[in-house]
A and B are shown apart, each in its own frame.
Chain A
Amino acid sequence: MTTPGRPAEQPFLEIKDLAVAFPTEDGLVRAVEGVSLSIERGRTLAIVGESGSGKSVTAQAIMGLIDRKIATVTGEIWLDGQELIGLPADDLQALRGGKVAMIFQDPMSSLHPFYRVGDQITEAIKAHRSIGAKAARARALEMLRRVGIPAAERRIDDYPHQLSGGMRQRVMIAMALINAPELLIADEPTTALDVTVQAQILELITSLQGEFGITVIMITHDLGIVADVADDVAVMYGGRIVEVAPTGVLYAQPEMPYTLGLLSSIPRVDRELSKRLEPIPGNPPSPIHLPLGCVFQPRCTYWDRVAGGACLSVRPDLLATGAGHLVRCHLPAEERRQISQGVLNVVAGGS
């Protein structure tokens, strides 16, 4: 489908200046502001941030899951040449579970407790095509096998509470992939699972992505799992993207002090034992009363190095600093790199 005004070479998914705000009794909650992103087909983008950073809201905006009666959504979301924010509800509904699918954090609460898992999967098939009950069940069974459910022909008639956490997440993945989506959004898919199961689920998502050629957005607060799965990483803080980079670059040369803080608070085996973990001081900002300048300024160790106190009064822009590497910071690039290398050397235990 071609839409007028669409640039010739557009990425598979492009988000431009997305903003989501919820009015509440305490004031306007600016959950997401000025988020711009793009992903090429078949790649994996990780969105990393603390709770409340706006990463889940961004994902739900792409899915059209934000209730427009409650929230205002502005900006543009282009998926494969189609703009999603202005799309009528019916068209969005057809996209959901079809071209775009999503898996959620807690598979126990995300599956309906009253319905058999097989029925929940076939319901997803029937929502998008007319198909007989038998054929739908056969497809569901095939997909359950594909996501590694043992004895799937028995498990298909189980209720969610009869399955383990890992099995439930596999069911969620089967349900998401049943209509061969082109974009899969995984919102903290391993957070509620045991560590041993986490790796299995991530591996499953990666292998299915390769097999079906799916584009994946992986939302997580855990930088530790990002390195294994993502091509690119976007770091979110206070409802905006503060740094985007190819995964390798982000780990080696992070430039935004917040990313630096995240990286140095990951426990590492090769760290000197005498060194303690470095938490980021302070708390995330309230989405109602955001700082006037840089949203990270109140927790930033380096803001006083910027001349004229710009961090206090001026919102920094997300600017390119290298190939595919964007940073939202007032510090001069040279100084950012110096700080970054200094901190990373200390963390790694080098001199």
Chain B
Amino acid sequence: MAAYIIRRVILMVALLFVLTAAVFALFTILPGDPARLTCGKACSPQTIEANRHRLGYDQPILTQYEEFLSGLVVGRTYSADSPQPIVCNAPCLGYSFTRHEQVLTLIAAAAPTTFWLAIGAFILWITTGISLGIFAALNHGRWPDRLVMGISLVGYSLPSFFIGLVLIFFVILKLSWLPFPSYVSPFDNPFQFLQTMILPWIVLAILNTAFYMRLTRNQVLETLNEDYVRTARAKGLPEGTVVVKHALRAGLTPLVTAAGMDLAYLLGGAIITETIFSLPGLGALALSSVLESDLPLITGITLVTSTIVIVANLAVDLLYAVIDPRVRLA
């Protein structure tokens, strides 16, 4: 087990290494001059050249990549030869010259919003999705099943920007049940936090709830027909034990993989939902960094979100081995 984890971690680092290289290569291939983007239309050629030098874009691409990697480990200093050098401490993900801020600081500021958004939506869709899915499966073919599946189909078909705008229009504008969203930390003002987050949570959860209802229902229906469930009945176990201990345990296990990856994906930022509700999270940050062609910031966000997904992948694999005795890690 320990050897397996060590091997996976090494593999993970190698994967991230490849990833940074790929992101770097991509940005050099892209058209446009990154130095030209650092200042406005009235920029003189001298300023552009000066910026190019300060950003290190005058260096060969391999040197730039080396500096980026060493920055991650030991930190780096931008425009060291100028009167005002910019120190970026390790782990230095880069420096955004558009925002005059370290990339890591920007990400760290946005991450909690996204974290709360993802966790809240996750809890919402896991509880409703799985319980409704089980309910549908246990009533297979009868009206509760059809109703749940109908709801799922509707939820599945509605795009999140549509649901989000409809909710804002009715709940906030028409009915004034909630104030306009304005994000605060749950530690500063829990009530305002909840008022702000409740709609984004619902919007994000709807699509996933629809998906998890279907997934759970199909999984449970499948395991209810398994031979070992028939064996459990043949042993004379009460129906509740048959369903919960024998059918659900096996039927819900594959959901761990899906849930873990979906949560990781969401922790990387929900671009549409964050934008609609003006939440200052990673998704909104990623979107504006792309719109502003803020290359250091794009690189940093890509790296951070990929790391989350890769770590989640490992966590899910380890968790699965704990749940299913047939999975042996070696």
Give A residues with C-beta under 8 Å from B. 63, 65, 89, 93-98, 101-102, 104, 106, 109-114, 123-124, 127-128, 159, 161, 172, 175-176
Is B236 a contact partner of A112 (Cβ separation < 8 A)? no
Is B236 a contact partner of A93 (Cβ separation < 8 A)? yes
Q: Which residues of A contact B235 (CB under 8 A)?
A: 96-97, 123-124, 127, 175
Q: Which residues of A contact B230 (CB under 8 A)?
A: 65, 104, 110
Q: Which residues of A contact B231 (CB under 8 A)?
A: 104, 110-112, 172, 175
Q: Which of B228, B234, B238, B239 is in CB contact (< 8 Å) with A112? A: B228
Nearest chain-B residue to A128 (Cβ)?
B236
Q: How far is the CA of A147 from the CA of B235 in the complex (A)?
A: 18
A89, A93, A112, A161 interface centre (most CB from chain B within 10 Å): A112
**7 interchain pairs (CB within 8 A)?**
A63-B234, A97-B234, A104-B231, A109-B228, A159-B326, A161-B326, A175-B235
Is A114 a contact partner of B227 (Cβ separation < 8 A)? no
Is B250 a contact partner of A65 (Cβ separation < 8 A)? no
13 new A-B contacts at CB < 8 Å, known A97-B235, A113-B324? A65-B234, A93-B236, A96-B233, A96-B234, A97-B234, A97-B236, A106-B227, A110-B231, A112-B246, A113-B228, A114-B325, A124-B235, A175-B231
Q: Which residues of A contact B107 (CB under 8 A)?
A: none
Query: Which 9 pairs from chain A and chain B are nearest by CB?
Result: A97-B236, A109-B227, A97-B235, A96-B236, A124-B235, A112-B228, A110-B227, A102-B234, A127-B236
Nearest chain-B residue to A63 (Cβ)?
B234
Give residues 230-265 of B contacting A (CB, 8 Å).
230-239, 246, 249-250, 253
Nearest chain-A residue to B242 (Cβ)?
A93
Q: Which residues of B contact A114 (CB under 8 A)?
A: 249-250, 253, 323-325
Q: Does B49 make an interface contact (CB < 8 A)?
A: no
Q: How far is the CA of A89 from the CA of B240 in the complex (A)?
A: 13
Q: Which residues of B contact A176 (CB under 8 A)?
A: 234
Is A113 a contact partner of B325 (Cβ separation < 8 A)? yes
Q: Does B226 make an interface contact (CB < 8 A)?
A: yes
Q: Which of B232, B237, B238, B250 is in CB contact (< 8 Å) with A113? A: B250
What is the distance, in angstroms, from A192's C-beta to the closest C-beta of chain B?
11
Q: How far is the CA of A124 from the CA of B238 in the complex (A)?
A: 11
Q: Which of A94, A104, A109, A110 is in CB contact (< 8 Å) with B236? A: A94
What is the distance, in angstroms, from B135's C-beta to the closest C-beta of chain A?
15
Q: How far is the CA of A53 from the CA of B140 in the complex (A)?
A: 27
Q: Which residues of B contact A98 (CB under 8 A)?
A: 236
Is A124 a contact partner of B227 (Cβ separation < 8 A)? no
Nearest chain-A residue to B253 (Cβ)?
A114
Nearest chain-A residue to B250 (Cβ)?
A114
Given A113-B250, A127-B235, A104–B227 Cβ distance below 8 Å? yes
Q: How far is the CA of A109 from the CA of B229 in the complex (A)?
A: 9
Q: How far is the CA of A134 from the CA of B232 in the complex (A)?
A: 21
Give residues 283-330 of B contacting A (CB, 8 Å).
323-326
Q: How far is the CA of A124 from the CA of B249 in the complex (A)?
A: 18
Q: How far is the CA of A186 from the CA of B323 in the complex (A)?
A: 32
Q: Mark B91-126, 1 if CB is under 8 A from A, else 0.
A: 000000000000000000000000000000000000
Is B228 a contact partner of A127 (Cβ separation < 8 A)? no
Q: How far is the CA of A42 from the CA of B239 in the complex (A)?
A: 31
What is the distance, in angstroms, from A162's C-beta to the closest C-beta of chain B?
9
Q: Which residues of A contact B250 (CB under 8 A)?
A: 112-114
Q: Which residues of B contact A93 (CB under 8 A)?
A: 236-239
Q: How far is the CA of A127 from the CA of B325 in the complex (A)?
A: 24
Q: Which residues of B contact A128 (CB under 8 A)?
A: 236
What is the distance, in angstroms, from A58's C-beta to the closest C-beta of chain B?
15
Q: Which residues of B contact A127 (CB under 8 A)?
A: 235-238
Q: Which residues of A contact B227 (CB under 8 A)?
A: 104, 106, 109-110
Q: Which residues of B contact A106 (CB under 8 A)?
A: 227
Is A124 a contact partner of B325 (Cβ separation < 8 A)? no
What is the distance, in angstroms, from A94's C-beta to the closest C-beta of chain B?
6
Q: Which residues of A contact B234 (CB under 8 A)?
A: 63, 65, 96-97, 101-102, 104, 176
What is the distance, in angstroms, from A173's C-beta to the closest C-beta of chain B?
12
A94, A114, A159, A172 interface centre (most CB from chain B within 10 Å): A114
Nearest chain-A residue to B246 (Cβ)?
A112
Q: Which residues of B contact A172 (CB under 8 A)?
A: 231
Given A106-B227, A159-B326, A161-B326, A95–B246 Cβ distance below 8 Å? no
Q: Which residues of A contact B233 (CB under 8 A)?
A: 65, 96
What is the distance, in angstroms, from B230's C-beta to the closest C-beta of chain A?
6
Give residues 207-240 of B contacting A (CB, 8 Å).
226-228, 230-239
Q: How far is the CA of A123 from the CA of B233 in the complex (A)?
A: 12
What is the distance, in angstroms, from A131's C-beta to the closest C-beta of chain B?
14
Is B325 a contact partner of A159 (Cβ separation < 8 A)? yes
Q: Which residues of B contact A89 (CB under 8 A)?
A: 239
Nearest chain-A residue to B230 (Cβ)?
A65
